[in-house]
Amino acid sequence: MYNLMNRESGNLIEYQNSSNYEFVELTNGLTAYREFGLKNNIPIIVIHGGTLPSEGYSEFCQRLSELNYWVICYDQFGRGYSDRPKIKYSMDVYQLQLDELLDHLKIDKFILYGVSMGAPIAVQYSNDHIDRSLAVGIQVPVVHIDNNIFKILNVPIVGEIMMRFFGLPLIKKRALEWNKDESINEDFIEKYINQLSLPGTEHALLSASRNLFPKNYEYIYEVFSKNKIPFHIAYADDDTEVSPDSVRAIIKINDDADIFMFTGGHGGSAKIPDKIVNVFESFLSKNLNQ
Protein backbone atom coordinates (compact mmCIF):
# COMPACT_ATOMS: atom_id res chain seq x y z
CA MET A 1 0.00 0.00 0.00
CA TYR A 2 2.87 2.37 0.86
CA ASN A 3 4.49 1.80 -2.55
CA LEU A 4 1.18 2.08 -4.39
CA MET A 5 0.52 5.44 -2.74
CA ASN A 6 3.74 6.97 -4.06
CA ARG A 7 2.46 10.20 -5.60
CA GLU A 8 5.80 11.45 -6.93
CA SER A 9 5.86 11.98 -10.67
CA GLY A 10 7.21 14.29 -13.32
CA ASN A 11 10.65 15.16 -14.60
CA LEU A 12 12.70 17.62 -12.53
CA ILE A 13 14.95 18.59 -15.45
CA GLU A 14 11.95 19.44 -17.62
CA TYR A 15 10.44 21.39 -14.73
CA GLN A 16 13.68 23.33 -14.29
CA ASN A 17 13.89 24.07 -18.02
CA SER A 18 10.35 25.49 -17.95
CA SER A 19 11.41 28.24 -15.54
CA ASN A 20 12.87 31.72 -16.04
CA TYR A 21 15.48 31.02 -13.36
CA GLU A 22 19.23 30.75 -13.64
CA PHE A 23 21.11 27.74 -12.27
CA VAL A 24 24.46 27.09 -10.66
CA GLU A 25 25.99 23.72 -9.76
CA LEU A 26 26.90 23.72 -6.07
CA THR A 27 28.24 21.02 -3.78
CA ASN A 28 24.86 19.34 -3.27
CA GLY A 29 23.38 19.96 -6.70
CA LEU A 30 21.79 22.59 -8.92
CA THR A 31 20.51 25.72 -7.20
CA ALA A 32 17.89 27.82 -8.99
CA TYR A 33 17.94 31.56 -8.48
CA ARG A 34 16.46 34.69 -10.02
CA GLU A 35 17.79 38.25 -10.01
CA PHE A 36 15.77 41.45 -9.88
CA GLY A 37 17.24 44.92 -10.39
CA LEU A 38 20.73 46.17 -11.21
CA LYS A 39 23.88 44.46 -9.96
CA ASN A 40 25.50 47.73 -8.94
CA ASN A 41 22.83 48.21 -6.25
CA ILE A 42 23.04 46.86 -2.69
CA PRO A 43 22.11 43.14 -2.77
CA ILE A 44 19.20 41.70 -0.80
CA ILE A 45 18.96 37.91 -0.63
CA VAL A 46 15.47 36.58 0.07
CA ILE A 47 15.32 33.20 1.84
CA HIS A 48 12.00 31.38 1.61
CA GLY A 49 10.34 29.19 4.24
CA GLY A 50 9.71 25.50 4.73
CA THR A 51 7.41 24.64 1.83
CA LEU A 52 6.66 27.76 -0.24
CA PRO A 53 9.46 28.17 -2.85
CA SER A 54 11.03 31.45 -3.89
CA GLU A 55 8.59 31.96 -6.75
CA GLY A 56 6.01 32.83 -4.10
CA TYR A 57 8.05 35.95 -3.30
CA SER A 58 8.57 37.19 -6.87
CA GLU A 59 6.31 40.22 -6.39
CA PHE A 60 8.08 41.11 -3.13
CA CYS A 61 11.47 40.85 -4.84
CA GLN A 62 10.33 42.89 -7.83
CA ARG A 63 8.97 45.71 -5.66
CA LEU A 64 12.16 45.87 -3.61
CA SER A 65 14.27 46.03 -6.78
CA GLU A 66 12.23 49.04 -7.93
CA LEU A 67 13.53 50.82 -4.83
CA ASN A 68 17.09 50.52 -6.13
CA TYR A 69 18.16 47.18 -4.68
CA TRP A 70 19.65 44.14 -6.41
CA VAL A 71 17.36 41.37 -5.14
CA ILE A 72 18.13 37.67 -5.42
CA CYS A 73 15.60 34.99 -4.60
CA TYR A 74 16.63 31.34 -4.73
CA ASP A 75 15.19 27.90 -4.09
CA GLN A 76 16.60 25.87 -1.25
CA PHE A 77 17.41 22.25 -2.03
CA GLY A 78 14.29 20.12 -2.05
CA ARG A 79 11.94 22.92 -3.14
CA GLY A 80 11.04 24.91 -6.23
CA TYR A 81 13.36 24.55 -9.21
CA SER A 82 16.43 23.43 -7.25
CA ASP A 83 17.65 19.83 -7.06
CA ARG A 84 16.40 17.32 -4.52
CA PRO A 85 19.58 15.49 -3.46
CA LYS A 86 19.34 12.33 -1.35
CA ILE A 87 21.04 13.90 1.67
CA LYS A 88 20.31 14.82 5.28
CA TYR A 89 18.58 18.21 5.10
CA SER A 90 20.01 20.27 7.94
CA MET A 91 21.00 23.81 8.88
CA ASP A 92 24.55 23.08 7.68
CA VAL A 93 23.26 22.14 4.21
CA TYR A 94 21.35 25.40 3.83
CA GLN A 95 24.21 27.48 5.23
CA LEU A 96 26.59 25.95 2.67
CA GLN A 97 24.10 26.48 -0.15
CA LEU A 98 23.73 30.18 0.68
CA ASP A 99 27.47 30.61 1.10
CA GLU A 100 28.26 29.03 -2.26
CA LEU A 101 25.52 31.01 -4.03
CA LEU A 102 26.89 34.31 -2.68
CA ASP A 103 30.36 33.26 -3.78
CA HIS A 104 29.05 32.44 -7.27
CA LEU A 105 27.39 35.86 -7.50
CA LYS A 106 30.55 37.53 -6.15
CA ILE A 107 28.58 39.20 -3.36
CA ASP A 108 30.65 40.45 -0.44
CA LYS A 109 28.34 42.63 1.69
CA PHE A 110 24.63 41.92 1.73
CA ILE A 111 21.21 42.29 3.32
CA LEU A 112 19.38 39.07 4.22
CA TYR A 113 15.61 38.68 4.40
CA GLY A 114 14.29 35.38 5.76
CA VAL A 115 10.68 34.25 5.93
CA SER A 116 9.42 31.61 8.40
CA MET A 117 12.06 28.82 8.37
CA GLY A 118 14.20 31.13 6.25
CA ALA A 119 14.55 33.43 9.28
CA PRO A 120 16.88 31.27 11.41
CA ILE A 121 18.84 30.41 8.25
CA ALA A 122 19.37 34.13 7.61
CA VAL A 123 20.21 34.95 11.22
CA GLN A 124 22.64 32.04 11.57
CA TYR A 125 24.44 33.06 8.36
CA SER A 126 24.69 36.64 9.59
CA ASN A 127 26.09 35.42 12.92
CA ASP A 128 28.87 33.67 11.01
CA HIS A 129 29.53 36.65 8.69
CA ILE A 130 29.09 39.71 10.90
CA ASP A 131 31.40 41.99 8.91
CA ARG A 132 29.56 41.22 5.67
CA SER A 133 26.02 41.71 7.00
CA LEU A 134 24.58 45.18 6.36
CA ALA A 135 21.17 44.34 7.82
CA VAL A 136 18.82 41.43 8.43
CA GLY A 137 15.05 41.33 8.03
CA ILE A 138 12.84 38.43 9.10
CA GLN A 139 9.14 37.76 8.69
CA VAL A 140 6.94 35.38 10.76
CA PRO A 141 10.19 33.80 12.03
CA VAL A 142 10.46 30.24 13.25
CA VAL A 143 11.88 30.21 16.78
CA HIS A 144 10.72 26.90 18.19
CA ILE A 145 7.78 24.93 16.85
CA ASP A 146 6.80 22.61 19.68
CA ASN A 147 4.58 20.33 17.65
CA ASN A 148 3.82 16.65 18.27
CA ILE A 149 3.64 16.09 14.51
CA PHE A 150 7.41 16.49 14.26
CA LYS A 151 7.88 13.93 17.03
CA ILE A 152 5.80 11.44 15.05
CA LEU A 153 7.64 12.18 11.81
CA ASN A 154 10.91 11.49 13.60
CA VAL A 155 9.93 7.85 14.25
CA PRO A 156 11.48 5.51 11.61
CA ILE A 157 8.96 4.00 9.18
CA VAL A 158 6.06 5.77 10.94
CA GLY A 159 7.44 9.12 9.73
CA GLU A 160 7.66 7.89 6.14
CA ILE A 161 4.07 6.66 6.24
CA MET A 162 2.78 9.85 7.85
CA MET A 163 4.51 12.10 5.30
CA ARG A 164 3.22 10.12 2.33
CA PHE A 165 -0.36 9.51 3.50
CA PHE A 166 -1.03 12.71 5.43
CA GLY A 167 1.81 15.28 5.29
CA LEU A 168 2.07 16.01 1.58
CA PRO A 169 -1.69 15.67 0.91
CA LEU A 170 -2.33 18.19 3.70
CA ILE A 171 0.19 20.68 2.24
CA LYS A 172 -1.42 20.32 -1.20
CA LYS A 173 -4.92 20.71 0.26
CA ARG A 174 -3.89 23.91 2.00
CA ALA A 175 -2.54 25.24 -1.32
CA LEU A 176 -5.83 24.48 -3.06
CA GLU A 177 -7.60 26.62 -0.45
CA TRP A 178 -5.56 29.59 -1.67
CA ASN A 179 -8.02 29.72 -4.59
CA LYS A 180 -10.32 31.59 -2.22
CA ASP A 181 -7.77 34.43 -2.15
CA GLU A 182 -8.06 36.47 -5.34
CA SER A 183 -4.60 37.97 -4.77
CA ILE A 184 -2.94 34.59 -5.42
CA ASN A 185 -2.44 33.59 -9.05
CA GLU A 186 -4.02 30.24 -10.00
CA ASP A 187 -1.07 29.37 -12.24
CA PHE A 188 1.27 29.75 -9.28
CA ILE A 189 -0.90 27.46 -7.13
CA GLU A 190 -0.77 24.79 -9.84
CA LYS A 191 3.01 25.09 -10.18
CA TYR A 192 3.42 25.01 -6.41
CA ILE A 193 1.47 21.77 -6.15
CA ASN A 194 3.37 20.28 -9.10
CA GLN A 195 6.76 20.96 -7.49
CA LEU A 196 5.58 19.09 -4.38
CA SER A 197 5.10 15.95 -6.52
CA LEU A 198 8.54 15.93 -8.14
CA PRO A 199 10.77 12.93 -7.31
CA GLY A 200 12.84 13.56 -4.19
CA THR A 201 10.51 16.16 -2.65
CA GLU A 202 9.00 13.76 -0.14
CA HIS A 203 12.44 12.76 1.15
CA ALA A 204 13.53 16.40 1.33
CA LEU A 205 10.50 17.51 3.36
CA LEU A 206 10.66 14.50 5.68
CA SER A 207 14.38 14.97 6.27
CA ALA A 208 13.92 18.70 6.94
CA SER A 209 11.00 17.90 9.27
CA ARG A 210 13.33 15.66 11.26
CA ASN A 211 16.53 17.68 11.21
CA LEU A 212 15.62 21.34 10.65
CA PHE A 213 12.06 22.47 11.38
CA PRO A 214 11.58 21.28 15.00
CA LYS A 215 14.83 22.67 16.46
CA ASN A 216 14.86 25.42 19.08
CA TYR A 217 16.58 28.40 17.44
CA GLU A 218 16.25 30.90 20.27
CA TYR A 219 20.00 30.73 20.92
CA ILE A 220 20.66 31.88 17.34
CA TYR A 221 18.64 35.06 17.92
CA GLU A 222 20.34 35.56 21.28
CA VAL A 223 23.79 35.41 19.68
CA PHE A 224 22.59 37.80 16.98
CA SER A 225 21.55 40.37 19.61
CA LYS A 226 25.22 40.91 20.44
CA ASN A 227 26.29 41.65 16.86
CA LYS A 228 24.84 45.18 16.55
CA ILE A 229 23.54 44.48 13.05
CA PRO A 230 20.36 46.41 12.07
CA PHE A 231 17.44 44.05 12.59
CA HIS A 232 13.84 44.17 11.30
CA ILE A 233 11.13 41.78 12.54
CA ALA A 234 7.66 41.51 10.98
CA TYR A 235 5.20 39.11 12.53
CA ALA A 236 1.48 38.33 12.79
CA ASP A 237 -0.24 38.67 16.14
CA ASP A 238 -2.70 35.94 15.11
CA ASP A 239 -0.19 33.46 13.64
CA THR A 240 -1.29 29.86 14.26
CA GLU A 241 1.83 28.24 12.76
CA VAL A 242 4.49 30.26 14.57
CA SER A 243 3.67 31.30 18.12
CA PRO A 244 3.52 35.11 18.44
CA ASP A 245 4.81 34.67 22.00
CA SER A 246 7.95 32.96 20.68
CA VAL A 247 8.54 35.95 18.39
CA ARG A 248 7.99 38.37 21.26
CA ALA A 249 10.63 36.44 23.22
CA ILE A 250 13.28 37.17 20.58
CA ILE A 251 12.05 40.77 20.31
CA LYS A 252 12.74 41.09 24.03
CA ILE A 253 16.26 39.78 23.47
CA ASN A 254 16.78 42.08 20.46
CA ASP A 255 15.33 45.21 22.05
CA ASP A 256 16.84 47.50 19.39
CA ALA A 257 15.05 45.72 16.54
CA ASP A 258 12.63 47.51 14.23
CA ILE A 259 9.22 45.86 14.73
CA PHE A 260 6.19 45.64 12.46
CA MET A 261 3.15 43.68 13.59
CA PHE A 262 0.27 42.79 11.28
CA THR A 263 -2.88 40.66 11.31
CA GLY A 264 -3.74 37.86 8.92
CA GLY A 265 -1.89 34.78 10.10
CA HIS A 266 1.33 33.17 8.92
CA GLY A 267 0.76 34.17 5.30
CA GLY A 268 -0.98 37.44 6.07
CA SER A 269 1.77 39.54 4.52
CA ALA A 270 0.50 38.49 1.07
CA LYS A 271 -2.56 40.64 1.70
CA ILE A 272 -0.51 43.78 2.38
CA PRO A 273 2.49 43.52 0.02
CA ASP A 274 2.93 47.28 -0.41
CA LYS A 275 2.96 47.83 3.35
CA ILE A 276 5.48 45.03 3.95
CA VAL A 277 7.84 46.40 1.30
CA ASN A 278 7.46 50.02 2.41
CA VAL A 279 8.09 49.22 6.08
CA PHE A 280 11.20 47.21 5.24
CA GLU A 281 12.50 49.86 2.82
CA SER A 282 11.96 52.56 5.46
CA PHE A 283 13.96 50.49 7.93
CA LEU A 284 16.77 50.06 5.41
CA SER A 285 16.86 53.75 4.48
CA LYS A 286 17.11 54.70 8.12
CA ASN A 287 19.87 52.24 8.96
CA LEU A 288 21.91 52.35 5.75
CA ASN A 289 21.77 56.15 5.46
CA GLN A 290 20.32 56.05 1.96
State yes or no: pLDDT of 138 exceeds 80.
yes
State yes or no: pLDDT of 135 exceeds 80.
yes
Sheet containing strand 42-47, strands side by side: 22-26, 29-36, 69-74, 42-47, 110-115, 133-139, 231-236, 258-262
217-241 pLDDT, tens per residue? 999 999 999 999 999 999 999 999 9
Q: What are phi and psi of 118, to 5 degrees?
A: -70, -20
- pLDDT computed for residue 4 by the predictor: 78
Q: Give domain status of residue 233, yes or no.
A: yes
Is residue 79 within 8 Å of 53, Cβ to Cβ? yes
Average pLDDT over residues 140-157: 91
Q: Which domain holds residue 130?
A: 12-147+215-288
Q: Give domain status of residue 230, yes or no.
A: yes
- pLDDT computed for residue 59 by the predictor: 92
- 80 versus 3: the higher-pLDDT residue is 80
State yes or no: pLDDT of 290 exceeds 70.
no
- 244 versus 146: the higher-pLDDT residue is 244
Q: What are phi and psi of 254, to 5 degrees?
A: -100, 70
Q: Give domain status of residue 209, yes or no.
A: no
Provide the number of structural domains found in the chain: 1
Q: Give domain status of residue 142, yes or no.
A: yes
Q: How confident is the model at residue 177 (pLDDT cuts 50, 70, 90)?
A: confident
With a pLDDT cut of 70, the percent of the chain lying above it is: 98
Give the count of beta carbons closer than 10 Å to the beta carbon of residue 117.
24
**Calpha distance 206→39 (Å, rounded):** 36
Is residue 124 within 8 Å of 220, Cβ to Cβ? yes
With a pLDDT cut of 90, the percent of the chain lying above it is: 80
State yes or no: pLDDT of 55 exceeds 80.
yes
- pLDDT computed for residue 284 by the predictor: 97
Q: Give domain status of residue 184, yes or no.
A: no
**Calpha distance 133→45 (Å, rounded):** 11
CATH of the domain at 268: 3.40.50.1820
